[in-house]
Structure 1
Amino acid sequence: MSTEPEAAAAEEAETAAAEEAGPGTPDAAPDATDTTDDAEATDDAEDGDGDGDGDGTDSADGADGEGESAEATEPAAPAELSETEAEIAAQRELRERIEQRKASKEGPIDAGTKLSGTAADLLAAVRAVESGEQPVASAFREPEPAPRRPAPSPAAEPVRAQLSSAPSAPAEESVEAVRTVLTEGGAPAALAAPTAAALGEGAEGQLREDPWQLLRVPGVRTEQADGFARALLGAECGPDDERRGRAITVWLLEQAAAAGHTALDSSALTAALGQRAVPDPDAAVQSALAEGEALVFQDAVEGADVPVQRSDDEDAQDGAEEEPERPVRVLIGLERYALAEESLADGLARVINSLTKDDASGPSADDWEAAAAELSGSAAELVRAVAGHGLVLHTGGETARTEPAALVAAAAAMGLRVCVATHSADGRHRAARAPGVPEAAAVTVAGLLAGAEGPGRDADGAFALDLLVVLDAPQLDVETAAMLAESLPDGARLVLSGDPGVLWSAGPGRVFADLLAARCCPQVVSRTPDPGPIGELVSGIGIGELNQVEAPGKEVVIVPVRDAAEAIHRTVQLVADSVPRAIGVPAEQTQVITPGHGGAAGTRVLNAALKERLNPGPGRFGGFDPGDRVAHVPAAGRTTLGRVVRADAEGLHLECDGAPVVVGKERVEQEVRHAWALTAHQATGLRWPAAVVVLPGDAGQALTRPWVYTAFSRGERHLSVVQGVEQALPRAVAERLWKDRTTRLRTLLRPQVPSVAV
């Protein structure tokens, strides 16, 4: 097996760690091994929330980049929770339910579950596999198909009752006690509230007992935690402290999750620990496993043909002839994402296998065929695939969304309970306008899971649905996808539809890409191209070609610039003057997209320039004024766009997707950004009449084909490209593909679902 993916994973984990900036006392010996050449890590997905640039120069980046949850910093929950808060609570319930299911299982431990036994046994298993020997049989076993598990919640009313018990902000006395400990260690007092929230009850005692627990606070780096530990422990502090190795192991896994991984190869993890000056990386991993901070897995290496011979002892034990076995890789991951990925695999296997072939109460095969006959091309092919399969994948561009919409309309006409879920409110509005789609059937994924939108749940707590179509499927992370699969009733059909060329999810995993590669269900490839010059340009980018296109109506305009200052000037000119005058699209319907928040022409600089031109004001409330365009990020990976309405003692009042939102004064800096300029991940799932993509000279290394594809496809009628990267743009389109992510979904699906011809 090539070691390149392992090195890339270690490098990406180190990159994400190096790009995090947080308050604290830096270590006297800076880490010289950090790298910063991970292009995708500079964009939003690697920031963990869809809005990070990795430069870590403001507190919002620090909080988001660590994947901070809404519960960690929010004050007491209001009576009516937002969709995001509701979804977070539902995710918490899902994880608790999975953990209970794991604990109740009897018999041998399956691969991918938490191992038992002593820490020495765990480490011996890891080392045995890495050395090419037979894995410890008692530690590693192939998984068995899981039975149908209970739905997330019994009914809509109990769901709302459970959500009302969302955790509140830490008590003031707890925050004060933590502040005292932080002051003793030379850490900023401003970390007191997030530290108390992250560590929970007894936070001050935890810090005194193990100062490296400070790494659990979003935005804190290893050298800062080291400085804090030295100040508290004095001569007792050393790089070989077991507590330090364990904490850094967990911290690196968190950084990997922010970069999209659900696990790390053990060799990549130990290499990253060595770069962090951990003297014995194996012992650090062993300690994290023994304490239950992380889990270990063994997965067969796909495509490998090198046999692993059985030991003499094993042959003597069962008398069998020597049999070659496929080599395996050892992965280390956090329990949260491991359980979610396993739950997703089990849920999808159930969806695939539970479809009733002869259901007299539903449409017959003739009914489905008659519905398909009313359509043509890949739309008819999609209907026929859904007729006979529980899970179907559909791929295509923006125009191809009409095909799953036609499926929903046909299924609704046959009397099926249908729902089409999108990544954003903008996508929901577009889905609701499709012919034949019931308006109430169009929802957002977050709203559906939270119970705020959609058909509600049946008596068993499952969605009251016969068919769920999810658009923007590449934006599904493993936790969200697991919740959807768990919530489907037996016999329901699931269609995942999306453009495989766009950026992956902001959260861990690559669900849609893994399912496409697994070939576990039918795949329908749309033959409906996106029209016009923009569609032609984006189609070329999708296959690695940056072509010149004819644009007689100025649908595509390239604006070359010499430096960042000129890029900013031309961008403001385009938004405020040129596009409204020449194209007829007003400034409020034109969106600026740039690779990152930092840099000479990142979102911060561009938003400041655009605010000065389009909505000048003193910014008395955290830099915001009524009328400002903003992005609200209440939790990692959840960005909604809106406008500032007013500010008062209660906080900053926003209107996001037509709904009022109040952000407390203490949360404005972490949760709200100006949004005249966005990053590509923030813009994913959204469309505007016009888009201006800004590529300053320092953005060349951040560009990849998926980034360019995503950014260039956000404009419906017009695209302006302010270009200062010269030949770096066509090179990125031709050569720089996705930064790979280490995931386990394909491996977990393999023993449960047979491959199908597609």
Structure 2
Amino acid sequence: MVETIRGTVHRTYFASPKFSAGVLHTEAGESIRFRGAFCASEGELVTLVGRWRHDPKYGEQFSVDSLSYELPDSPEGLIQYLAKHPAFVGIGEGTARKIVAHAASASHLDRLIRQDIPELHRQLRIPRATLESLREAWIAHSAENEVRTYLASFGLTHHQMETLLAALGTGVVGTLRTDPYQLIRYVPGYGFKKVDKIARAMGTPKDHVGRIEAGLQYIVSEEIASGHTWISGAQLLDKANDLLLLDTLDSRDVIQAVGERLLREGTLVAEGSAVSTSRFLETEQFIQSVFTQFGRLERPIETAPSPLSGLRVKQAEAYQAALRHSIVVISGGAGTGKTYVLGRLTRTFQEAGLRVALCSPTGKAAKRIEESLQQQGLSLEAKTIHRLLEYDGQTFHRESLSHPSDDPQRGGADNDDAFDVVIVDEVSMVDVVLMAELLRRIDFARTRLVLVGDHNQLPPVGPGNVLRDIIAHRLVPTVILNEVVRQAGVLKSNSMDVLSGRIAPTAGNDPAWTVVDAFQDPQPIQVYLRDLVLDKIPLRLELDPIHDVQILTPTHLGPLGTKAINQMMQHLLHGEVPRKFAVDDKVIQTYNDYGLGVMNGTIGRVVAIEGAPGGGYWIDFDGVGERLVKDEQIHNVQLAYALTAHKAQGSEFSCAVVLCHRSHFFADRNWLYTAVTRAARYCILLGDRWGLQNAAKKNDTIKRRTFLDLWAKKDAAPASPLEATA
């Protein structure tokens, strides 16, 4: 039950801008423990809104959802407020008592500090500099507290209020009153729906121009977040009309007028009927220009290549294309020999004295391809694309990957900073933004680019569909490997069968491929999964059930989603967990943190927990080492016993347990194929027969709207992108 408690912060055990814990003296004379996502200062009079919760270590605590600030209304409260607040430097308890004794009330104290510093200096003999510093801090803090209290009336959390204040200062109130939708532009994390909730609570009318502008931009941004790079003008109007609900007969006309103005101003851009932002239109224009200019450029390698013995027909074709062209794509499914061809090419390039850069979108994928080449006797460090381009979280600092035009040294150890060949593995995961950043740093007169991937896998998390667009429209020389080599084994062969819509049955006594599909309801699947991972796999396959096994599922929600499965696994392994994680929990980083040096998708293990509230967790991340992830950063870390196939893309696990049930109605062939190909040695498909067969047969190849595809099709478009089509 939500409660409101008013009192004075007596003590803080821990205080940071995003988390505080301490003791509050309430108006009723009680002392209570509190904790919450706000910064507490001793002596502050606050009104806390939240719920009582039991902490196994600290007992009953009041968990704070929101708060507001007030000046203490008693002399002793004012004394403690002045003496203990960190903003009032140089004001100890003795000085605070002198100041409060001189003032008759809180309001009189406020007037004295704001307007009568000379009087306080003269009467109390307090140094003028101390009083001036107090006045400056008092005014700033009072103004901020008034703003906090005002913002709290709209249901904002303390962290949200602090974010607004940090971005806009005390002028945030004026901004909210004139056009609250400006917050979307100025404050990270404030999207249309969050700001619209605040604005509507303030009484902002539905047809406010700022609201319509923000709604249109929100829809475009949501399309981009979904992987598209544009939306048709007609779709944009339809979605905006549904979102904004203007309650007027001419709502579409009103929205269209605002949309056309955004196009004229350049806030939105259009290519025929396709509407987007200038960033994504220009990004794909650049990619297309590179492919058009250099995609067919032939630069035969000067040294005689090694013999083609050992290569199959398509493999030999891919090998020769990479030695002939400036840009080439090699794509193929599991077991078709992409890595073998890549190794042969790398050896040939190195024997020719050429410097080779090997990279991949994720650290896990980079490590995997590096190890695969080592097995072929090649020593070549693989990096993430971000690391190769020297990205620091904000800027790509690498200016060029190629040799300067006047550089007499071409290859060899004399020029460690330049490359003759750039090889990108797992290119299906590369979105248009990252592809453009890579292409900008290659001089194709001096450096060739080899793109290797599997177009059958899921498209990138980010916008665009570069690999599929290249293959669909032959934008650059492309070779598809389509023959599963004999040595690939039953796992690779059966994985490729998925692309034909077929689920191969359990492979006899070979544990590499197992199908368990006799279930109907989700609960028995959970029970079987528990026994499978914790008992059967360790016993029969001799694998670590946590670190060698990965559960993959199509969804986050539902009884067979990542959230439910992760909670189940954590509870089975650790019982009740008082904090977010327990020691030995398997976790994954979900956001690039360049301060920690941990990238999105990196899996780790919790090795220790800091004892103090807010202290955080020590996590041993794969390929990175141990890092202290503090409580204010821990929202970027999640349990990883179960992952979606998208999150696991680029990684490989000794054993993949793939869940697919009829409740996963949108799971399709590409999802299932991506999931089963995460298995390096063993794949176990678990679910019901209909769910698995439906996913395999559902060839809903993800249709992404991209400019590369649009231009290749030479799509006709109306003159006005926002022509209403009722």
TM-score, structure 1 as length reference: 0.64
- Residues 1:481 and 2:445 are matched in the alignment: no
SS at match of 2:471: helix
Going from structure 1 to structure 2, the CA distance change for 1:202 and 1:553 (only over 3 Å counts) comes to farther
Name the counterpart of 1:596.
Answer: 555
Report if the CA contact (8 A) 1:418-1:441 is conserved: no
Name the counterpart of 1:228.
Answer: 198
- Largest Rg, 1 or 2: 2
User: What is the alpha-carbon distance in structure 2 between the residues aligned to residue 291 and residue 184 of structure 1?
Assistant: 36
Going from structure 1 to structure 2, the CA distance change for 1:518 and 1:372 (only over 3 Å counts) comes to same
Name the counterpart of 2:348.
Answer: 410
SS at match of 2:632: helix
User: What is the alpha-carbon distance in structure 1 between the residues aligned to residue 166 and residue 227 of structure 2?
Assistant: 24
Name the counterpart of 1:686.
Answer: 651
- Residues 1:612 and 2:571 are matched in the alignment: yes
CA RMSD across the alignment: 3.4
- Residues 1:662 and 2:628 are matched in the alignment: yes
User: What is the alpha-carbon distance in structure 2 between the residues aligned to residue 173 and residue 552 of structure 1?
Assistant: 75
User: What is the alpha-carbon distance in structure 2 between the residues aligned to residue 437 and residue 425 of structure 1?
Assistant: 21
Going from structure 1 to structure 2, the CA distance change for 1:289 and 1:695 (only over 3 Å counts) comes to same
Report if the CA contact (8 A) 1:442-1:454 is conserved: no
SS at match of 1:450: coil
The C-alpha deviation readout for 1:590-638, integer Å capped at 9, x for no partner, is: 1101112211121111112222334x16545x41122211010124993
Name the counterpart of 1:113.
Answer: none
SS at match of 2:703: coil
With a CA cutoff of 8 Å and minimum separation of 6, indicate the structure with the bigger relative contact order. 1
The C-alpha deviation readout for 1:290-330, integer Å capped at 9, x for no partner, is: 443321222xxxxxxxxxxxxxxxxxxxxxxxxxxxxxxx1
Report if the CA contact (8 A) 2:291-2:476 is conserved: no
- Residues 1:545 and 2:507 are matched in the alignment: no
Report if the CA contact (8 A) 2:296-2:477 is conserved: no
User: What is the alpha-carbon distance in structure 1 between the residues aligned to residue 167 and residue 205 of structure 2?
Assistant: 25
2:679 paired residue among 695, 707, 715 = 715
User: What is the alpha-carbon distance in structure 2 between the residues aligned to residue 625 and residue 569 of structure 1?
Assistant: 22
Name the counterpart of 1:584.
Answer: 542
SS at match of 1:240: coil
User: What is the alpha-carbon distance in structure 1 between the residues aligned to residue 370 and residue 404 of structure 2?
Assistant: 28
More displaced 10-residue stretch of structure 1: 194-203 or 394-403:
194-203
1:395 paired residue among 306, 331, 339 = 331
Going from structure 1 to structure 2, the CA distance change for 1:262 and 1:173 (only over 3 Å counts) comes to farther
User: What is the alpha-carbon distance in structure 2 between the residues aligned to residue 214 and residue 736 of structure 1?
Assistant: 42
Q: How many residues align?
A: 535
- TM-aligned CA deviation for residue 716 of structure 1: 2.0
Going from structure 1 to structure 2, the CA distance change for 1:533 and 1:221 (only over 3 Å counts) comes to same
Name the counterpart of 2:471.
Answer: 516
The sequence identity of aligned pairs, in percent, is 26
Report if the CA contact (8 A) 1:262-1:509 is conserved: yes
Alignment of 1:225-624 (within 5 A): 225-232=195-202, 234=203, 237-276=204-243, 277-278=245-246, 279=251, 280-298=254-272, 330-352=273-295, 356=299, 363-364=301-302, 367-370=303-306, 372=308, 375-399=311-335, 400=337, 401-433=339-371, 434=373, 435=375, 438-450=378-390, 457=401, 464-491=418-445, 492-529=447-484, 531-548=488-505, 550-559=507-516, 560-587=518-545, 588-614=547-573, 616=574, 619-620=577-578, 622-624=579-581
- TM-aligned CA deviation for residue 347 of structure 1: 3.4
SS at match of 1:610: helix
- TM-aligned CA deviation for residue 185 of structure 1: 3.5
- Residues 1:643 and 2:643 are matched in the alignment: no
- TM-aligned CA deviation for residue 750 of structure 1: 8.6
Going from structure 1 to structure 2, the CA distance change for 1:521 and 1:242 (only over 3 Å counts) comes to same
SS at match of 2:704: coil
Report if the CA contact (8 A) 2:151-2:161 is conserved: yes
Report if the CA contact (8 A) 1:627-1:644 is conserved: yes
SS at match of 1:439: coil
Aligned-partner residue type, residue 238 of structure 1:
P
Going from structure 1 to structure 2, the CA distance change for 1:262 and 1:175 (only over 3 Å counts) comes to farther
- TM-aligned CA deviation for residue 184 of structure 1: 4.3
- TM-aligned CA deviation for residue 218 of structure 1: 7.2
* Higher relative strand content: 2
Report if the CA contact (8 A) 1:533-1:549 is conserved: no
Going from structure 1 to structure 2, the CA distance change for 1:654 and 1:749 (only over 3 Å counts) comes to farther
User: What is the alpha-carbon distance in structure 2 between the residues aligned to residue 459 and residue 405 of structure 1?
Assistant: 23
Alignment of 1:128-167 (within 5 A): none
Report if the CA contact (8 A) 1:432-1:441 is conserved: yes
The C-alpha deviation readout for 1:732-758, integer Å capped at 9, x for no partner, is: 32234123111102455799xxxxxxx
SS at match of 2:440: helix
Report if the CA contact (8 A) 1:642-1:656 is conserved: yes
TM-score, structure 2 as length reference: 0.67
Name the counterpart of 1:82.
Answer: none
SS at match of 1:270: helix
SS at match of 1:638: coil
Return 5+ residue gaps in structure 2 as ranges: 1-139, 406-415, 594-598, 715-726
Name the counterpart of 1:3.
Answer: none
User: What is the alpha-carbon distance in structure 2 between the residues aligned to residue 429 and residue 173 of structure 1?
Assistant: 54
User: What is the alpha-carbon distance in structure 2 between the residues aligned to residue 457 and residue 634 of structure 1?
Assistant: 26
Name the counterpart of 2:708.
Answer: 745
Report if the CA contact (8 A) 1:564-1:697 is conserved: no
Name the counterpart of 1:162.
Answer: none
Name the counterpart of 1:108.
Answer: none
Going from structure 1 to structure 2, the CA distance change for 1:200 and 1:750 (only over 3 Å counts) comes to farther
Aligned-partner residue type, residue 470 of structure 1:
V
Going from structure 1 to structure 2, the CA distance change for 1:574 and 1:208 (only over 3 Å counts) comes to same
Alignment of 1:93-112 (within 5 A): none
Report if the CA contact (8 A) 1:342-1:748 is conserved: no
User: What is the alpha-carbon distance in structure 2 between the residues aligned to residue 556 and residue 652 of structure 1?
Assistant: 37
Name the counterpart of 1:183.
Answer: 152
* Higher relative helix content: 1
Going from structure 1 to structure 2, the CA distance change for 1:484 and 1:543 (only over 3 Å counts) comes to same
